[in-house]
Amino acid sequence: MNRKIPYGKQYISEEDIAAVSKALTADFLTQGPTILEFENKFAAYVGSKYAIAVANGTAALHLCTLALGVNEKSKVITTPITFTASANCVRYCDGEVDFADIDSETVLLSIESVRKKLALAPKGTYQGIIPVDFAGYPVDLEAYRKLADEYGCWIIEDACHAPGGYFTDSKGIKQRCGNGQYADLAIFSFHPVKHIACGEGGMITTNNEKLYQKIMALRTHGITKDPKKLTENHGGWYYEMHDLGYNYRFTDFQAALGISQLSRAPENLKRRKAIAKKYDEAFKGTAFEVILPDNNTGHAYHLYVIQTDNRKGLYDYLRTKNIFAQIHYIPVNTQPYYKDRGEYPTPNANKYYDRCLSLPMYPTLTDEEQDWVVEQVKSFRK
């Protein structure tokens, strides 16, 4: 096959293009009504009370750590198998990151590993936990909430990989990723490889009104025009800055794209699940290990990961066939920046990193292309 097959790719339709064109001739390019419409629709999709659209997923994480009051005395636990931003948001506020290990079965942050850290440290050492719905596999946030409450910790769910995913709680209720039922805050990204592509973009969801208000202000310089909050009032132009915020705004034409993309999210998720099922069956009984969620777990399949010996050999071989598989992720704690800050033993994460490979997974991947990918992976083995 001559076509290049990436591991992930955006899907832009004619409707998307029409929606953006229309938005470009509207009165507002930014700070207009389309942003609120996207926020409301996104909140409805994930099942949260509030949603705040921001410049990107990293800005979303930063606003979360700011709003939760992370400072130089804070210590926060996250997973090594994630994009670096999940950890960096703590450092932006001068807090310290600690990395617990992953669960080898799910590749998610191991709750046992987190529990051990919390139990061994003097109470009050840790302020928060940032679990990640890695690859689209939803974290059991009910279990994390219970643990976090024992130690007075908050939870930020990094749900960048999992819009539309859900786990089933102990009452048998499907809890959608980012619905704010158990986590204090959740964040999403609209980078092109994610489920909803807006070029750049991010979303924070929550059910906590105070955090919502705080983050809304921090998104725009910490400035308010709300007459109830002003300490003085000089007239119609008057505003006050109460906190040190940022310009982390989203734009109206991106929101128009987001709304259009969101309307296709359910069918795209269905397609991702069909692709995953086909991979599952193709690698059944082979030496390629796959991650199989149980029947109560709604995996969102941002990534489809196989684990194998001689992963580098397979990665290089697939490139010669124009298949651009990818590695997710280099353990964040092994990055030079974090290595200089401390030692975080994560044997499971290191072992996973040596063996993992993300195969092409996106809604417009054709059956023919997927067959080709499977064939090439299997032929490398022979």
Ligand X SMILES: *Cc1c(COP(=O)(O)O)cnc(C)c1O
How many residues are given for the chain?
382
Contacts of 173 by beta carbon, 8 Å cutoff, 6+ apart: none
User: Nearest approach, Cβ of 258 to ligand X (angstroms)?
Assistant: 13
Which one, of 54, 56, 128, lies nearest residue 87 by Cα?
128
Q: Which is nearer to ligand X, 189 or 208 (CB)?
A: 189
CA distance 311 to 362: 22
* Binding string, residues 113-142; x marks residues near ligand X by CB under 6 A: -------------------x----------
Contact 16, 260 (CB under 8 A): yes
What is the nearest approach in angstroms of ligand X to the Cβ of residue 199?
Answer: 10
Q: Which sign does the torsion angle of CA 315, 333, 179, 175 carry?
A: positive
Does 332 help bind ligand X (rule: CB under 6 A)?
no
A 10 A CB-CB count for 53 gives: 26
The pairing of beta strand 223-224 with beta strand 323-324:
unpaired
Min separation Cβ 189 and ligand X, Å: 3
Residue of the chain from 10, 65, 74, 82 that contacts ligand X (CB under 6 A): 82
Q: Is 331 in the site for ligand X (CB under 6 A)?
A: no
Give whichever of 65 and 86 is closer to ligand X, judged by the CB atom.
Answer: 86
Which of 86, 110, 307, 348 binds ligand X (CB under 6 A)? It is 86
- Kindly state the smallest distance separating residue 226's Cβ from ligand X, in Å: 29
Q: Which residue in the set 62, 161, 176, 271 belongs to the binding site for ligand X (CB under 6 A)?
A: 161
CB of 327 to ligand X, least distance (A): 13
83 binds ligand X (CB under 6 A): yes
State which of residues 191, 214, 272, 299 lies at the interface with ligand X (CB under 6 A). Answer: 191
Q: Which residues bind ligand X (CB under 6 A)?
A: 56-58, 82-83, 85-86, 132, 158, 160-161, 189, 191, 202
